[in-house]
Chain A
Amino acid sequence: MPSRIFVTGLGFISGIGNNVQENLDSLLNLRSAVGPVRHIETSLSEELCVSEVPLSKKELLAFAGISGTEACSRNSLLGMIAAREAFIHAHLAENMGLRTGLISGTTVGGMDECEKYYQDFLGNDSRNEFIDIYDCADSTEKIADYLGLKGFMTTISTACSSAANSILFAARMMKAGKLDCAIAGGTESLTKFHLNGFNALKILDKKPCRPFDATRNGINLGEGAAYLVLETEEANRKTGNRIICELTGYGNACEAFHQTASSPDGTGAYLAMKKALDMSGEHPYNIGYINAHGTGTDNNDLSEGRAIETLFPEKVPYISSTKPFTGHMTSAAGSAEAIIAILALQNGIIWPNMNFSTPMPELNFRPASELIRGIDLNVVMTNSFGFGGNDTSLIFKKYGIY
């Protein structure tokens, strides 16, 4: 029988906090990081609303404790900081004998230096040290070297579900007996590349985003990184780590509908959630909270909302999108929101879907619009849906509940 998969470490940096505790404090105090662009030099800075990690490149280098002599992207630094927190949390330095994997999701974050120097790359030799750091694997290898990891590693890019698929793949490797534990998640720094790309798609809201609201008008991009440490039962007996919760279900499905749009009925979203639910063996009504993908676009929220109504026909669980706090962390959203859902589970709290006021006429449910405490949560779900219809859902359960 395949091993159970336990979560034993968390690491998280976002616009609302440099570590898990700071993120929790901001969530509890309803502090959003969404605002004008500060760190990226862009002509769009006054037009767009984003959630940036409020540290400059120099401050991030200092925070990570590295000299900065080697070329390193903001993307890698965010990843190193969050992965280090998870690594320390799960005492992995004392457990180097385990077969520890590193599975990281990212897409364009590593472009931050490359986009500045691209014309130099083409025309002269002045910026050659930055040539090698823009591909996706670079941030993963930087994290590995920073933490001294030598085992299996790979990088996944399924756009906005990259980090969720990293968690899913890590769990599958562990269940197949290929790894004892893994650091899995994703990192994504903001770049001019994405700001302009998403802007060209006309899906960025110039005001704070309003997921599941009838007046919603698009995304606020965000940045950051988040990693979970996963352990098999056997590895957990060796580490003796406290079990935060259990990953009991995951599902990956593809919309196969359109490269950037979701189908109106949310086929891919439904299939991903259904697969995760079936694997967990839970009755749908045991799911106490869904941290929705809820980007705030017309298309996503309608399609995800309908898929949720199909899966939970009688009564939907508490639902919220926490993107009004952190912005849409794209490739890192899957693991960031997994941690936010786990914090809900640990604390018996439903996070509010901020900025919600007007229900969508097409849906019969409303997201939780206020922070609710004292809820007896046992099982939570988190959704991550990417361009290209790469949809993934994860389910976490309190440990010791049967």
Chain B
Amino acid sequence: MAYINGIGIISPQNTLPGQEFLEPVVEHTGDFLKAVEPVFKTYIDPIAARRMSRLIKMGISSAKICLQDAGIGMPDAIITGTGLGSVEDTEKILAELTLEGKFLNPTPFIQSTYNTISSQIAIALKCHEYNSTYVHRCFSLESCLIDALLQLGEGSAVNVLAGGIDEMTMNHLTIIRRLGIWKREAIRNLDLWSCGTPGAVAGEGSAYFIISGEKNDHTYARLVAAGTLYKPGSASETATLVTSFLNENGLSHDEIDLVMMGNNGYAENDRICEEIVSLALPHTARVMYKHLCGEYHTVSGFALFVAAGILKKQFIPSSLVVQSAAPKKIENILIHNHYRNTDHALILVRK
């Protein structure tokens, strides 16, 4: 059995240590939802931090917050999922390639490699254990969780530090907007579900978890399983695979009390998410959360933080949007996520 024994999360909401569970709501009115940063020098040696890009600082800080939350000094494995790694550093290099040959600063190149986050966490902790990085769109965090569960099963680790992290920049937003993925206009995040314009709203964040084989006073919830569905096809084919995932984990649809929806404010996509859930989980209460954090490859880290908090506290914060009646009990939560409705990912958490 696997337990979530610690969480460290930097997100567009007030999710830093000592803050209430998603209260008060942070309103965003820009082009994307920017993470609320902690004071980085609380977690990172200021001399080391000077050369680090923002993503690396977010990663190390959230990892350290997570370890403190779990009351652990040294994890037995460090695993990171990131769709894009340090976008800021990658862009610096791409911009400088026009001046080829004169490009002399190696720091952005070093930091642009995706494994920098996991390895910088290892350097900060002096952790020589298993270390890996998954970089597959909406499978990135789920792959980490699958790896973490394997580690526990193999007996090679008791406490695995696993997390997902991605950042957004204005240039990247501009580029992806060309594909019609993001909304063309700036909107107020709390109006996401009513604005009706095409495209999703982008976000960012970093969420690390201690996935442990041992239950203790820090335990939030149980991590039952994570799953990835590669291009499953139509909504009904996807729903069939969601049902199989539940069955493989010994559950039927009516045992899922809450589903964290993949909806991101892009009506065309949201309709498909709703169709999948209507077919696979017809009676389950639905929670929408992406108005709080935006859309990004590892957004299910935010969802997992929310789900773990709901299971521990046994209440649903008012900042979340609940479709249908609130459930009577909250034992099992399914997180459904997707990458532009082609790839789908699932995480199952239990009280």
Contact = CB atoms under 8 A, between A and B. Distances in A.
Interface in A163-221: 165, 169, 172-173, 175-176, 178, 192-193, 196-202
B97 A201 contact: no
Given A157-B115, A200-B104, A388-B113, A118 B95 contact: yes
A253 B132 contact: no
Interface string A263-289: 000011001000000000000000000
Given A128-B178, A197-B106, A252-B131, A136 B136 contact: yes
Given A140-B136, A154-B143, A200 B94 contact: no
B324 interface: no
A267 B126 CA distance: 12
Given A153-B139, A157-B114, A135 B83 contact: yes
Interface stretch (B4-12, B35-43, B169-177): B169-177
B116 interface: yes
B321 interface: no
Nearest to A177: B153
A361 B174 CA distance: 54
Contacts of A271: 128
Given A44-B101, A137-B137, A192-B97, A254 B230 contact: no
Interface string A290-328: 000000000000000000000000000000000000000
A388 to B, nearest CB: 3
Nearest to B82: A157
Given A118-B97, A155-B136, A157-B135, A150 B119 contact: no
A347 interface: no
Q: Which of A158, A175, A199, A388 has the most CB of B within 10 A?
A: A388
A291 to B, nearest CB: 21
A342 B114 CA distance: 29
B97 A131 contact: no
B129 interface: yes
Given A44-B100, A172-B150, A118 B122 contact: no
Contacts of A140: 136
Given A115-B94, A258-B123, A125 B230 contact: no
Interface in A125-164: 125, 128, 131-132, 135-137, 140-141, 144-145, 149-159
Interface in B93-146: 93-98, 100-101, 103-106, 109-116, 118-120, 122-123, 125-137, 139, 143, 146
Interface string B155-187: 000000000000000010011101100000000
Given A43-B100, A125-B178, A259-B116, A254 B106 contact: no
A255 interface: yes
Contacts of A260: 106, 110
B125 to A, nearest CB: 7
A253 B128 contact: yes
B215 interface: no
B308 interface: no
A135 B128 contact: no
A151 B105 CA distance: 41
A16 interface: no
B204 to A, nearest CB: 16
Given A115-B94, A121-B178, A196-B93, A137 B101 contact: no
Given A131-B179, A256-B126, A388-B119, A107 B114 contact: yes
Nearest to A392: B132
Interface bin, chain A: 35 or more
B46 to A, nearest CB: 17
Contact of A390 (B84, B95, B97, B131): B131
A252 B230 contact: no
Contact of B178 (A131, A145, A197): A131
A118 B94 contact: yes
Contact of B136 (A119, A121, A154, A259): A154
B231 A387 contact: no
Given A154-B134, A154-B143, A388-B115, A128 B150 contact: no
A196 B97 contact: yes
A128 B127 CA distance: 42
Contacts of B176: 131
A389 B122 contact: yes
A247 interface: no
A137 B135 contact: yes
Contacts of B95: 118
B20 interface: no
B47 to A, nearest CB: 14
A390 B134 CA distance: 13
A157 B133 contact: yes
Contacts of A175: 154
Nearest to B227: A152
Contact of B120 (A135, A154, A259, A268): A259
B179 A128 contact: yes
B132 A256 contact: no
B238 interface: no
Contacts of A259: 110-111, 116, 119-120, 123
B132 A156 contact: yes
B136 A151 contact: no
B104 A158 contact: no
B276 interface: no
B270 interface: no
Interface of A: 42-44, 106-108, 111, 114-115, 118-119, 121-122, 125, 128, 131-132, 135-137, 140-141, 144-145, 149-159, 165, 169, 172-173, 175-176, 178, 192-193, 196-202, 252-260, 267-268, 271, 386-390
Q: Which 5 A-B pairs have the closest CB atoms?
A: A388-B119, A197-B109, A254-B131, A200-B106, A157-B114
Given A145-B231, A259-B123, 12 more contacts: A115-B97, A128-B178, A131-B176, A137-B83, A149-B230, A152-B228, A153-B139, A154-B139, A158-B132, A172-B147, A196-B101, A197-B93
9 contacts: A114-B94, A157-B133, A158-B118, A196-B97, A253-B130, A253-B131, A387-B119, A388-B116, A388-B118
Interface of B: 78, 83-85, 93-98, 100-101, 103-106, 109-116, 118-120, 122-123, 125-137, 139, 143, 146-147, 150, 153-154, 171, 174-176, 178-179, 228, 230-231, 343
